[in-house]
């Protein structure tokens, strides 16, 4: 660092916000995203991205953003790394056992086992855990259909063992109800009143945790980040009340509970969400009378299931890496990276190896866990953390007003449905793009083959499900690309159109350069749908004649690549549809497929 730079830092900031506004505005004007007469400060509105909850993500962190904010709740130091937790869900007990030992021998430090209709049979638990040192490797159970039965089976296996810290019986009856594994009728509350105290008693005898507050239960249904925060707070409060009613002191109750939240590839939102939930839980425990030393949260982050795609699954490696990084920076105590091939079926050995190595690389080579709160003090992250915390507390209030997390499940589902509809629209018009699916799809890829999950696998609503449905049944006919002019002149729009059609399982015929209508017609082979792609000048000069000639040759549906309103004389071209940036891609693709059929 130069002496001058040191001097500027010691005296304060060298540049002010107005200079950044001026520089950013110049770039936006050059890109035509700001008009020449727009004020420089308009860059804030243009560059601020909003979450589905309406929370703004600032393009620049400034001290003004954090003025007056409360002190953050820091996660505890994690030593040299976080708990690398592998998920086991293979109903083949021998395969699950082999995967468990391989994972534990190669970097995994704890096991998360789905038992029952969603994974391993309860009777096979002894086979799966054969050779696993339960005093060294924590085991977290996940048995939504019979949590206590499986917990007692595990207790029999662990008899006489000092279980490793972090072991959890994983009881979460409300999460099971939300996932549809058990009924949400009037008997849910009575089942809760029985399950929670019994789980606490058994956990006390074994010396482990009893309950999981699983936010992924709502995340997998499509909930927003704020809805996930509100849900886990409401469920945590319910479990505290249930334990209190059973005579468990609040300090002891807090130590029985572990939280599980989803981590997405929205890096900063995930970091802020994990930081916010610690602050919110600490506040709830404070209001509940817990001692200062018992207000910490045990937090397990899981890379999001809905964000993963079945097509071009290799991109899932990038998504889960970003999510794992955000989990570590956000202060998660345990991180599960789901294998990239999880959407295709049961992950194979390669997928599991990549998953565990993702955490190993972040911990051992990037040293992400060396600092307890790496994002602490970053103005934009602190502001986002506070905004999510405030909104999450308000969501808690809505759930409580609806009768609490048990009686208010239907109300919560209806609000989740509204978020799902908003997200679906963003995905449809590709303002929320999904790489490898809605953007840059590989129509001719060969997908890896994986064994199917158990019939009772937990339900997940993938974000890209609508595009995947189109890819699952590719169109038999192709679209003819009527490329106009030189390759250089039409390549941008031809590439855009080709990728858009491919996102809907539609292939194209592209014969390259055509200098006039006759050259195009020479390659046309009667396809019912044609798409004109060229530059504005070609559209104006011979677009109308080409569209007419193609119709006379048999074209039933003529699409124009480009917005008609921006192309002047193109208004005169006889077209049926248009494709361009901002179009509702799903509607366009469905219309096109109807015409191809």
**DSSP string for 20-60:** HHHHHHHHHHHTTSS-TTS-GGGHHHHH-EE-TT--EE-SS
- Average pLDDT over the chain reads 92
The terminus-to-terminus CA distance of the chain in angstroms comes to: 66
pLDDT band at 167 (very low <50, low <70, confident <90, very high): very high
Number of neighbouring beta carbons within 10 Å of residue 455: 8
Tell me which of 410, 439, 456 is where a domain ends: 410
pLDDT of residue 564: 55
Q: Answer yes or no: are the C-beta atoms of 228 and 273 closer than 8 Å.
A: yes
Looking at the structure of the chain, the number of domains it has is 2
Predicted TM-score (pTM) of the model is: 0.93
| CATH label of the domain that carries residue 477 | 3.40.50.280
pLDDT mean over 338-342 = 97
pLDDT at 122 over 90: yes
Residues 212 and 127 in one domain: yes
Q: Answer yes or no: are the C-beta atoms of 391 and 226 closer than 8 Å.
A: yes
Distances 232 to 114, 163, 281, 284 between C-alpha atoms, Å: 20, 26, 9, 12
pLDDT band at 566 (very low <50, low <70, confident <90, very high): very low
Per the listing, tokens 């869900």 go with: 89
Residues 199 and 322 in one domain: yes
pLDDT (tens digit per residue) in 236-292: 999 999 999 999 999 999 999 999 999 999 999 999 999 999 999 999 999 999 999
Q: Domain residues for 374? A: 83-410
pLDDT at 193 over 90: no
Residues 482 and 404 in one domain: no
pLDDT (tens digit per residue) in 54-94: 999 999 999 999 998 988 888 888 778 999 999 999 999 99
pLDDT of residue 11: 56
pLDDT (tens digit per residue) in 374-413: 999 999 999 999 999 999 999 999 999 999 999 889 999 9
DSSP state of 5: H
pLDDT (tens digit per residue) in 481-527: 999 999 988 999 999 999 999 999 999 999 877 889 999 999 999 99
Sign, Cα dihedral of 229, 231, 233, 236: negative
In a domain? residue 454: no
Q: Answer yes or no: are the C-beta atoms of 303 and 266 closer than 8 Å.
A: no
Would strands 56-57 and 49-50 be described as parallel, antiparallel, or unpaired?
A: antiparallel
pLDDT at 9 over 60: no
In a domain? residue 11: no
Residues 485 and 392 in one domain: no
pLDDT of residue 571: 58
pLDDT band at 568 (very low <50, low <70, confident <90, very high): very low
């Amino acid at each position: 660092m130069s002496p001058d730079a040191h001097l500027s830092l010691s005296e304060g900031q060298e540049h002010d916000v107005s200079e950044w506004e001026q520089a950013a505005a110049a770039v936006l004007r050059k890109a035509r995203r700001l008009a020449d007469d727009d004020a420089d400060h308009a860059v804030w509105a243009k560059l601020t991205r909003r979450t589905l909850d309406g929370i703004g993500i600032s393009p620049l962190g400034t001290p003004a953003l954090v003025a007056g904010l409360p002190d953050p709740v820091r996660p505890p130091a994690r030593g040299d790394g976080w708990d690398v937790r592998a998920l086991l869900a293979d109903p083949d007990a021998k395969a699950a056992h082999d995967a468990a030992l391989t994972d534990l021998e190669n970097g995994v430090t704890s096991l998360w086992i789905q038992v029952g209709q969603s994974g391993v049979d309860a009777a096979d638990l002894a086979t799966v855990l054969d050779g696993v040192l339960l005093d060294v490797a924590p085991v977290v159970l996940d048995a939504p259909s019979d949590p206590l039965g499986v917990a007692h089976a595990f207790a029999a296996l662990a008899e006489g063992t000092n279980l490793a810290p972090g072991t959890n019986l994983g009881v979460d009856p409300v999460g099971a109800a939300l996932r549809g594994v058990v009924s949400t009728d009037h008997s849910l509350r009575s089942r809760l009143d029985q399950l929670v105290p019994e789980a606490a008693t058994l956990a006390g005898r074994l010396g482990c945790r009893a309950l999981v507050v699983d936010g992924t239960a709502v995340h997998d249904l499509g909930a927003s980040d704020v809805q996930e925060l509100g849900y886990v707070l409401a469920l945590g409060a319910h479990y505290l009340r249930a334990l209190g009613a059973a005579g468990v002191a609040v300090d002891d109750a807090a130590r029985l509970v572990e939280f599980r939240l989803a981590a997405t590839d929205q890096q900063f939102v995930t970091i802020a969400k994990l930081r916010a939930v610690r602050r919110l839980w600490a506040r709830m425990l404070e209001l509940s009378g817990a001692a200062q030393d018992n207000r910490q949260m045990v937090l397990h982050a899981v890379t999001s299931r809905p964000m993963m795609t079945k097509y071009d699954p290799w991109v899932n490696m990038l998504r889960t890496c970003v999510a794992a990084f955000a989990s570590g920076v956000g202060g998660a105590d345990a991180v599960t990276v789901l294998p990239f091939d999880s959407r295709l079926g049961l992950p194979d050995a390669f997928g599991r190896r990549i998953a565990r190595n993702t955490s190993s690389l972040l911990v051992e080579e990037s040293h992400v866990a060396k600092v307890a709160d790496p994002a602490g003090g970053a103005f934009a992250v602190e502001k986002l953390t506070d905004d999510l915390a405030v909104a999450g507390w308000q969501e808690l209030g809505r759930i409580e007003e609806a009768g609490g997390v048990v009686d208010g499940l239907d109300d919560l589902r209806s609000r989740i449905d509204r978020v799902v509809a908003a997200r679906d629209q963003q995905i449809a018009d590709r303002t929320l793009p999904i790489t490898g699916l809605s953007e840059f799809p590989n129509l001719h890829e060969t997908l890896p083959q994986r064994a199917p999950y158990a019939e009772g696998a937990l339900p997940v609503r993938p974000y890209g499900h609508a595009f995947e449905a189109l890819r699952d049944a590719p169109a038999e006919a192709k679209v003819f690309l009527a490329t106009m002019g030189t390759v250089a002149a039409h390549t941008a729009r031809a590439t855009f159109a080709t990728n858009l059609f491919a996102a809907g399982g539609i292939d194209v015929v592209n014969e390259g350069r055509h200098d006039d209508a006759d050259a195009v017609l020479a390659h046309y082979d009667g396809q019912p749908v044609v798409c004109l792609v060229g530059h504005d000048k070609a559209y104006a000069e011979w677009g109308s004649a080409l569209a007419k000639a193609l119709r006379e040759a048999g074209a039933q549906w003529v699409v124009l690549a480009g917005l008609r309103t921006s192309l002047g004389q193109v208004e005169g071209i006889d077209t049926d549809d248009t494709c361009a940036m901002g179009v509702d891609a799903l509607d366009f693709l469905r219309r096109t497929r109807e015409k191809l059929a």
